[in-house]
Amino acid sequence: MSATSAPFGLRPAYHPTGLDRAIALANGITSGYAYNLLKGQPVELSGGVLIRSDGTDSIQGAFAGVEFTDTTGRRRVSNYWPAGTTATNIVAYFYQDQQIVYEIQSDGPVSQTAIGSQFDITNPYAGSTTTGLSAATMSSSGTTSGNNQLRVIDIAPYPDNNWGDPYVIVRVQISQQQFTANVAAIA
């Protein structure tokens, strides 16, 4: 499994309280927004609406889907926001709780010494409009003293997913969250 590159973005694994619910944001995407927003893609808030994160900024969370009324009056529900869509009654769903533990695939080998270290997101715009899923990954180069977007807390407990494999699936929390004070990595 972790010998194959098959990224899926930020996928909620669990929350310490057992509640990993998406937030519904009314009018959460600007009608005509020019970029795809894919399920699992890192997002940030700007002017009260969601926008895609570029992989270097603080992030608000992970995109979870959208529902909207299209120009024909039909209500749509989708894993992703199609670039340039003109719509009304847009409800964007996203995960924002900093305590949520996500799974994400690394873009290269990561060792067990990465636990507690912080890493940035790579390929933040990658994904499929066929499935609506993000293909964002986590950088395999991190820091033990600075502040990056994600903090590794564990490895995902899947068969054939081992530390040091070419594409490790790790469990992370957002460490550079838009509305929370950032804490540096621990050594």
pLDDT tens digits for range 90-121: 999 999 988 999 999 999 999 999 999 999 99
Query: Looking at residues 161-169, what average pLDDT do you find?
Result: 95
Mean pLDDT in residue range 136-153: 88
Query: Within 13 Å, how many C-alpha atoms sit on residue 1's CB side?
Result: 15
How many residues does this entry show for the chain? 187
44-73: average pLDDT: 92
pTM for the predicted model, two decimal places: 0.90
- The rounded mean pLDDT for the chain is 91
